[in-house]
């Protein structure tokens, strides 16, 4: 009996190469962060403030009583929830989500049509439904185009099991912004917009230089980490390019309910832009086979612990495969019932859905934090995008970059300085493949009021010292 | 804008080949079954009795009040359950499962050691944790050996996304049973036992004839569909063969709590047999890297709707990958808390765990059904294995096979006759790759008392007609 393998055999007998590869796809900047003591008011007042994970910690006062109510709103555990469920989700939940999404995404019955509940798949998180959607659309080794900068975990979600390659889509050189000009200021929002030119170039580079055939374009809309929305004309151009090129467009609208600056955001769901008034007696939005949506409760409702993701597509070819593949990542019937009750709850006396009231209050709170954070940035003259959606602000710290090293080395030095010497943990742009070094994402909702105030104080101190 | 693809383009632009392949891996016998009207006492009294899906419908009277209690046992929704959880499961749940599994699998602290809670991964169903375990152990295109007959859905679970090939392990020709002898009766349990000879032969065939390298041996223990347990000496020989051949042994013990005939079953968990008394101050069973367990609540607790699967391994190389991959199929914190409370519940006054009392009562009920079903089979002189575990009985209907056709065609004709003319839906052995035609699995727990009685009545009538 030989239970110990030699070093040589290790990679072949104890684990698969994909197990090892999966781990390498995880964002590495968090390894540095884990080595640093975290802030605690009583025990570690000098510890680092975690402002890099996209969570919203300002909602417990609303969520705890509401979830307590929804999780005990049925007199007894429903007997039918004991057994196997439809693999793509219980019908009453899918119907409730249909209704919720139509409101959230501002779909008009006459102009856009209605969602088809059979096109909805409810799975264990946005990453789970996204993975299955991509598995159903692309072969291993094919590419998923993603505009820069992008949510770092997409590389793990799409690469680890589905075997897909992320194809970066740089946008700056195709915009009017010139980062090489000596007089150039920080990039404006337009520098990050998608365009036919940017998409054509990225596709060509992928095929010709890397031998990877792109099959999917994945956009995050509202954009994470930028905190802005692509304007409707950009979405329209993107949809047309995808249909022309027979490339699948997946719109990740996980922050659709966190558009808090409605006066300037100009958010239009990709589903709304892509819909073509179908005949009134049909269900569906007339999206055709190339436009798909993913959503989840993790951001707008801060319920990342519930692992509830939603996928919507009108592509008939992938419908059955997606429903069946979802058997490998289904949500418990118990939690499906909770979410159904949450989606259906109507608050008296105004007969408004609980979800709507919750999102409005959440948007108010995010806006308040955003205003305070951006006021601080303005006071310190740190360039940043004017955030309108999401939980974060995109900041240009390039003036603080050290002179020496490659762009990545320079940014890493700045990241470590902020983290280790000033207790500020932001998401570094390099981990999101940003085109220019020195940019950081601040998640201003991932903190208590006290921690948030302390974060601004530390930032002021940092800037003062650096400029002294 | 071109939204319609031509027929030629369809397979390349609208969906991936793996989406199409996934659907082909699903068991096909259910397609016939779906076309037949199901039994309903009031509206379809001639409809078919569904005795083919491994569910236990005899427990609602116990489960509904218990789950109602567990799902409201906390005063309010715990605030920490809102946010991201450890990807392999909340620590209190993994600790509770450690304790539960040690009892269930009869692990003795002194002789076997204790489970390491960090080796436990809680994911969205047994299929979900099994898939990730196999992904972490084998490359796409490599093989998973499974003894015949096997649970048909393994082909989907292992093939659809993980890209693994099922390598059948026939056992009969390596046993003393001779199916070709004119005097041969129905195969005894021993004919289905694993042996070094059967494993060597299957491995060789796989490599030499099919070019598939087996990396994993997956056993179902207690065995589904046979309803029996492999005796300890078979498990021991199997473990040794795996370690000698550096092939990973995954023991699927999802029916470990449904061993109802303790006097004759002789069940020993693979973990118990594989453990090597470790030093008392270490955690773990000393399993080494080649022995792994999967389990779930779907069978022993009839809670297939909760999608709670459990994986246990002491292989350090796959620990981090498995924990991270599980992020793609996590269980909601809400349901994790319910299961934790269920695992911890102690019933006064005897201080016995609720789980233990529940399993004992469940075993009593299954045994009662088994006794009644096997009495009926004996009365009718239908050969069958004497079931000791699980929810089913393995029956030899080969005397009723028509003369004409291939073995598969003959069995399919018999299956359709039972289904369409006699309203009896059993799982056909051919769908589970059984070596001989004419065998069926009857899930005698998937019915109300009335339906169960009716099933026996219909079977008596069928046999009488056929032998007339």
Which residues does chain A have within 8 Å of residue B156's beta carbon, measured at their own beta carbons?
324, 327
B237 touches chain A (CB under 8 A): no
Question: How confident is the model over A86-140, as pLDDT tens digits?
Answer: 999 999 999 999 999 999 999 999 999 999 999 999 999 999 999 999 999 999 9
Q: Pick the residue of B307, B337, B341 with the most A CBs within 10 A to test the interface with A by mutation.
A: B307
Nearest CB partner across the interface for B1, out of A18, A138, A240 = A240
- Note the pTM of the prediction, 2 decimals: 0.95
> What does the pLDDT read at residue A140?
95
Q: Pick the residue of B2, B4, B16 with the most A CBs within 10 A to test the interface with A by mutation.
A: B16
The pLDDT-based confidence of A277 (bands split at 50, 70, 90) is low
> What does the pLDDT read at residue B174?
92
> What does the pLDDT read at residue B278?
63
Nearest CB partner across the interface for B160, out of A2, A131, A325 = A325
Q: Does pLDDT of A257 surpass 70?
A: yes
Which residues does chain B have within 8 Å of residue A320's beta carbon, measured at their own beta carbons?
23
> What does the pLDDT read at residue A7?
43
Which residues does chain B have within 8 Å of residue A13's beta carbon, measured at their own beta carbons?
246
A18 touches chain B (CB under 8 A): yes
A386 touches chain B (CB under 8 A): no
Q: How far, in Å, CA of B257 to CA of A296, rounded? A: 36
Which residues does chain A have within 8 Å of residue B289's beta carbon, measured at their own beta carbons?
3, 5, 14
Q: Calculate mean pLDDT across residues A12-32.
A: 89
User: Is A322's CB within 8 Å of B19's CB?
Assistant: yes
Q: Pick the residue of A124, A242, A275, A326 with the most B CBs within 10 A to test the interface with B by mutation.
A: A124
User: Is B77's CB within 8 Å of A55's CB?
Assistant: no
Which residues does chain A have within 8 Å of residue B59's beta carbon, measured at their own beta carbons?
82
User: Is A85's CB within 8 Å of B305's CB?
Assistant: yes
Question: ipTM of the predicted structure?
Answer: 0.95
Question: How confident is the model over A360-377, as pLDDT tens digits?
Answer: 999 999 999 999 999 999
Q: Pick the residue of A8, A78, A82 with the most B CBs within 10 A to test the interface with B by mutation.
A: A82
Higher pLDDT, A73 or B103: B103
User: Is A14's CB within 8 Å of B322's CB?
Assistant: no
pLDDT < 50 stretches in chain B: 1-10
Domains of chain A: 17-60+355-467 (3.90.1150.10), 83-345 (3.40.640.10)
Which residues does chain B have within 8 Å of residue A129's beta carbon, measured at their own beta carbons?
none
Q: Does pLDDT of A6 surpass 70?
A: no
User: Is A307's CB within 8 Å of B23's CB?
Assistant: no
A85 touches chain B (CB under 8 A): yes
Instruction: Name the minimum distance, in Å, from the CA of A188 to any CA of chain B.
Output: 31
> What does the pLDDT read at residue A5?
40
User: Is B84's CB within 8 Å of A127's CB?
Assistant: no
Which residues does chain A have within 8 Å of residue B215's beta carbon, measured at their own beta carbons?
16
Instruction: Name the minimum distance, in Å, from the CA of B406 to any CA of chain A.
Output: 31
A303 touches chain B (CB under 8 A): yes
Question: How confident is the model over A147-193, as pLDDT tens digits?
Answer: 999 999 999 999 999 999 999 999 999 998 987 776 678 999 999 99
> What does the pLDDT read at residue A440?
98
Nearest CB partner across the interface for B334, out of A140, A246, A338 = A338
Nearest CB partner across the interface for A246, out of B5, B156, B302 = B5
Q: Does pLDDT of A279 surpass 80?
A: no
User: Is B332's CB within 8 Å of A330's CB?
Assistant: no
Q: Calculate mean pLDDT across residues A210-225.
A: 98
B72 touches chain A (CB under 8 A): yes
């Amino acid at each position: 009996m030989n239970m110990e393998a030699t070093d040589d055999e290790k990679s072949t007998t104890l684990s698969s190469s994909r197990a090892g590869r999966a781990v390498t796809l995880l964002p590495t900047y968090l390894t540095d962060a884990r080595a640093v003591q975290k802030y605690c008011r009583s025990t570690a007042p000098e510890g680092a403030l975690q402002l890099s994970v996209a969570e919203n910690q300002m909602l417990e006062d609303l969520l705890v009583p509401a979830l307590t109510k929804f999780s005990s709103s049925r007199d007894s555990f429903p007997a039918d929830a004991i057994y196997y469920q439809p693999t793509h989700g219980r019908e009453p939940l899918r119907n409730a989500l249909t209704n919720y999404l139509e409101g959230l995404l501002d779909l008009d019955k006459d102009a856009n049509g209605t969602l088809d509940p059979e096109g909805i798949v409810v799975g264990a998180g946005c990453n789970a439904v996204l993975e299955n959607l991509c598995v159903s659309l692309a072969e291993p080794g094919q590419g998923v185009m993603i505009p820069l900068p992008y949510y770092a975990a997409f590389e793990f979600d799409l690469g680890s099991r589905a075997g897909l390659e992320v194809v970066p889509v740089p946008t700056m050189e195709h915009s009017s912004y010139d980062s090489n000009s000596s007089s150039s200021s920080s990039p404006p929002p337009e520098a990050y917009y998608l365009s036919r030119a940017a998409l054509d170039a990225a596709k060509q580079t992928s095929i010709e230089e890397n031998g990877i055939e792109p099959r999917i374009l994945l956009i995050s809309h509202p954009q994470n980490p930028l905190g802005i929305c692509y304007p409707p004309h950009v979405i329209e151009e993107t949809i047309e390019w995808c249909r022309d090129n027979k490339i699948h467009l997946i719109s990740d609208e996980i922050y659709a309910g966190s558009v808090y600056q409605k006066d300037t955001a100009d958010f239009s769901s990709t589903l709304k832009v892509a819909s073509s008034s179908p005949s009134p007696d049909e269900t569906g939005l007339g999206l055709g086979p190339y436009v798909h949506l993913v959503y989840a409760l993790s951001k707008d409702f801060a319920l990342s612990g519930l692992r509830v993701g939603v996928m919507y597509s009108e592509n008939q070819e992938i419908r059955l495969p997606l429903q069946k593949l979802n058997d490998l990542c289904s949500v418990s019937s118990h939690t499906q019932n909770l979410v159904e009750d949450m989606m259906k709850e109507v608050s008296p006396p105004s007969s408004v859905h609980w979800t709507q009231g919750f999102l409005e209050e959440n948007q108010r709170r995010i806006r308040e934090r955003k205003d305070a954070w951006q006021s601080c940035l303005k006071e310190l003259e740190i360039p940043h995008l004017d955030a309108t959606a999401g939980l974060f602000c995109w900041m240009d710290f390039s003036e603080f970059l050290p002179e020496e090293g490659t762009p990545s080395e320079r940014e890493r030095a700045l990241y470590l300085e902020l983290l280790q010497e000033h207790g500020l943990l932001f998401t570094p742009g390099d981990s999101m493949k940003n085109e220019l070094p020195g940019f950081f994402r601040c998640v201003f909702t991932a903190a208590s009021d006290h921690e948030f105030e302390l974060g601004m104080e530390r930032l002021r101190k940092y800037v003062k010292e650096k400029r002294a």
